């Protein structure tokens, strides 16, 4: 298990190094002066620029410049946004929690619904439920997100008026940010309208979460279905049948865990996809997350923000990947120890 952890950690470090290399090279590739792209200081006087150039080792070679960039990154200095002239780090810290909240809830919802439904389809293989689920999965997967989002707003917030259409929480409530994650902050606060606020925040969360979760949920359905079919075809299921276990015992005790292990590997891969969907959804639902901010920065040619947002979002995706890897190892005894010769 220690070796497993060390392997994941080294993978993490090298991937992050490559990412910083990409982001550093972006400052050269974007139009304009490289130093200004890197720092975002559009209105700096020549004296200030000279100080900055010294700060970023501009008089030395590229390698030294890269290391000074890394040094700045480690201290949390990602330059200033070209639009707002606020530090990127503060901007990101203000917005990232909202995205984390949205994507994590959406991922959980997608797994919670997608995987059991997929198992169901496999159990009723080639019968009516299976065909029905496959059709729904195909439909759900092919609907474009922005269209679905706008449609959801049109139906549920405008026509029916059930759910709010924009924002994270009603402006009536004032919540002290502690962790940044709104739902947790509400529960931590000692406001007397705490529960109303919690209800309101949940109501705001429902529509965007459904829109984000739909496509991944359908993918999980199909993955879970194939995984379950594969497992049901194995020798150990046949042996369990010969042992005299009932069908439900076989499903609950043996098939589900093995199928879940197969699915969980792909959940990490789907998470990057989910983030992309979440970025679009944030724009539609005016969700104050990092995705909307990044898309706006792209519109406004805010090169510093693009570099910073890229690093932060990719790191987030990677951390989730590693967490899922650990869940996989916890469930699968085969993954925990190194094989002789293999891997």
Partner 1 sequence: MNLIDIRNLSIELKTASKPIFAVDRVNLTMKEGEVRGLVGESGSGKSLLAQAIVGVLDEKWRVDADRFHWRGNDLMRLSPAERKAIITKDVAMIFQEPMACLDPTTSIGEQLEEAVDAEQLTGFFWQKRQQRKQAAINLLHKVGIKQHEVCVKSFPHQLTDALCQRVMIAMALARRPMLLIADEPTAAMESTNQGQIFRLLASLNQLKNMSILLISHDLENVTHWTNTITVMYSGQFVEAGTTEQIFNQPYHPYTRALVDSSPRANRMIPNKSRLMTLPGSIPILQHLPIGCRLGPRCPRAQQKCVHAPKIKNFHSHQVSCHFPLKDSYS
Q: Which residues bind partner 1 (CB under 8 A)?
A: 234-236, 238-245, 249, 253-254, 257-258, 261, 331-334
On whether the CB atoms of residues 209 and 217 are closer than 8 A, the answer is no
Determine the 3-state secondary structure of 218 from DSSP. Answer: helix
The DSSP annotation for 95-116 comes to: HHHHHHHHHHHHHHHHHHHHHH
- In the complex, the smallest distance separating the C-beta of residue 234 from partner 1, rounded to whole angstroms, is 7
Provide the token pair at 230.
């594969």
Given the complex with partner 1, which of 179 and 249 has the nearer CB atom? 249
Closer residue to partner 1 (CB): 55 or 266:
266
Cβ atoms of residues 265 and 326 within 8 Å:
no
Token look-up 């952890």 returns 5
Calpha distance 196→155 (Å, rounded): 24
Complex with partner 1: residue 254 or 292, whichever CB lies closer? 254
Query: 289: which residues sit within 8 A by CB, 6+ positions away?
Result: 95, 96, 98, 99, 102, 278, 282
Give the nearer residue to partner 1 in terms of CB position, either 75 or 339.
Answer: 339
Q: What tokens does 96 get?
A: 């990232």
Q: Is the separation of the CB atoms in 279 and 292 below 8 Å?
A: yes
At its nearest, how many Å lie between partner 1 and the CB of residue 108? 23
Among residues 205 and 223, whose Cβ is nearest to partner 1? Answer: 223
Q: Which is nearer to partner 1, 162 or 236 (CB)?
A: 236
Minimum CB distance to partner 1, residue 217 (Å): 25
User: Measured from the CB of residue 226, what is the shortest distance to partner 1 in angstroms?
Assistant: 17
DSSP per-residue string spanning 13-25: HHHHHHHHHHHHH
Residues 6+ apart with CB under 8 A from 320: 107, 268, 271
Q: If we measure between CA atoms, which residue out of 201, 204, 175, 173 comes closest to residue 189?
A: 175
Spatial separation of the C-alpha atoms in residues 158 and 164, rounded to whole Å: 9
321 in Cβ contact with 268 (< 8 Å): yes
Burial class (CB in 10 A: 0-12, 13-18, 19+), 75: exposed
Cβ proximity to partner 1, 61 vs 333, nearer residue: 333
- Would you say 75 or 126 has its CB closer to partner 1? 126
User: What is the closest distance, in whole angstroms, from the C-beta atom of residue 114 to partner 1 in the complex?
Assistant: 21
Residue 16 CB, nearest approach to partner 1 (Å) = 32
* Least CB distance to partner 1 at residue 231 (A): 10
Residue 11 Cβ vs partner 1, minimum distance, rounded to whole Å: 24
Distance of CA 225 to the CA centre of its chain: 24
Rounded to a whole number of angstroms, the minimum distance from the CB of residue 126 to partner 1 is 9
How many Cβ atoms sit within 10 Å of the Cβ of residue 216? 25
Cβ nearer to partner 1, comparing 187 with 239: 239
């Amino acid at each position: 298990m220690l070796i497993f952890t060390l392997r994941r950690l080294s993978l993490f470090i090298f991937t992050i190094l490559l990412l910083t290399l990409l982001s550093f090279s972006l400052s050269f590739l974007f139009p304009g002066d490289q130093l200004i792209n890197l720092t975002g200081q559009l209105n700096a006087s020549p004296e200030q620029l000279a100080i900055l150039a010294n700060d970023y080792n501009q008089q030395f070679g590229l390698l030294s410049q890269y290391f000074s960039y890394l040094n700045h990154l480690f201290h949390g200095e990602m330059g200033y946004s070209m639009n707002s002239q606020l530090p990127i780090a503060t901007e990101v810290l203000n917005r990232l929690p909202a995205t984390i909240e949205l994507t994590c809830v959406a991922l959980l919802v997608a797994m919670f619904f997608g995987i059991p439904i997929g198992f169901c389809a496999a159990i009723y293989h080639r019968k009516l439920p299976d065909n029905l689920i496959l059709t729904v999965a195909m439909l759900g997967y092919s609907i474009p997100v922005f269209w679905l989002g706008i449609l959801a707003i049109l139906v549920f917030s405008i026509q029916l008026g059930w759910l709010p259409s924009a924002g994270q929480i009603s402006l009536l409530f004032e919540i002290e940010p502690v962790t940044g994650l709104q739902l947790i902050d509400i529960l931590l606060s000692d406001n007397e309208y705490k529960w109303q606020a919690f209800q309101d925040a949940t109501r705001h969360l429902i529509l965007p979460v459904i829109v984000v979760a739909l496509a991944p949920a359908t993918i999980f359905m199909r993955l879970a279905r194939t995984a379950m079919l594969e497992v049901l075809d194995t020798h150990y299921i046949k042996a369990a049948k010969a042992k005299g276990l009932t069908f439900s015992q076989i499903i609950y005790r043996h098939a589900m865990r093995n199928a879940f292990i197969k699915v969980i590997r792909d959940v990490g891969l789907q998470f990057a996809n989910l983030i992309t969907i979440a970025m679009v959804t944030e724009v539609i639902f005016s969700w104050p997350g990092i995705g909307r901010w990044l898309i706006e920065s792209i519109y406004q040619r805010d090169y510093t923000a693009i570099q910073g947002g890229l690093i932060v979002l990719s790191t987030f995706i990677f951390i989730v990947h590693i967490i899922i890897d650990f869940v996989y190892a916890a469930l699968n005894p085969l993954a925990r120890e190194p094989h002789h010769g293999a891997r």
